[in-house]
């Protein structure tokens, strides 16, 4: 997110470009941030067949170490104050404009 306002919008364009770029980065970040939750109180599933050599049990508890690592990631990248420290100036530019590029949407600008 740092530097987003230096790249968008391009000169002569609306601030919709910056909002769209923010949404892409934020949605990608949120998808990555949701991954640790799978390791908290979770189980690993094995598709091995009975009698397969070295096969684990069908369900194996996630180790405490992996759970702790997941908690630490959530703490640092989702729950901490620094995780949501967006620049106020950038947030002020994430606006809707009458020149929205989504022309097929019901709410979009239609000259």
Measured in whole angstroms, how far is the alpha carbon of residue 11 from the centre of its chain?
28
Residues 23-36 have pLDDT tens digits of 888 888 888 888 89
Q: 44 φ, ψ to 5°? A: -90, 140
Cβ–Cβ < 8 Å for 101, 16: yes
Predicted confidence (pLDDT) per residue in 40-99, tens digit: 988 999 999 988 999 999 999 999 999 999 999 999 888 888 888 888 888 888 877 665
Rounded to two decimals, the pTM is 0.61
State the chain's mean pLDDT as an integer: 82
**pLDDT in the model for residue 110:** 57
pLDDT recorded at residue 81 = 85
Half-sphere exposure of 110 (CA within 13 A, CB side): 5
């Amino acid at each position: 997110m740092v530097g987003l306002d230096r790249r968008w919008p391009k000169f002569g364009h609306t601030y919709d470009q910056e909002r769209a770029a923010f949404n892409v980065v934020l949605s990608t970040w949120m998808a990555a941030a949701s991954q640790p939750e799978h390791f908290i109180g979770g189980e690993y599933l094995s598709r091995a067949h009975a009698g397969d050599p070295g096969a684990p049990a069908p369900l194996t508890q996630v180790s405490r170490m992996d759970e702790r690592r997941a908690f630490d990631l959530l703490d640092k990248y989702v729950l901490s104050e620094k995780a949501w420290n967006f620049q106020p100036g950038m947030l002020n530019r994430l606006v809707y404009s009458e020149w929205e590029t989504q022309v097929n949407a019901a709410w979009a600008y239609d000259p």
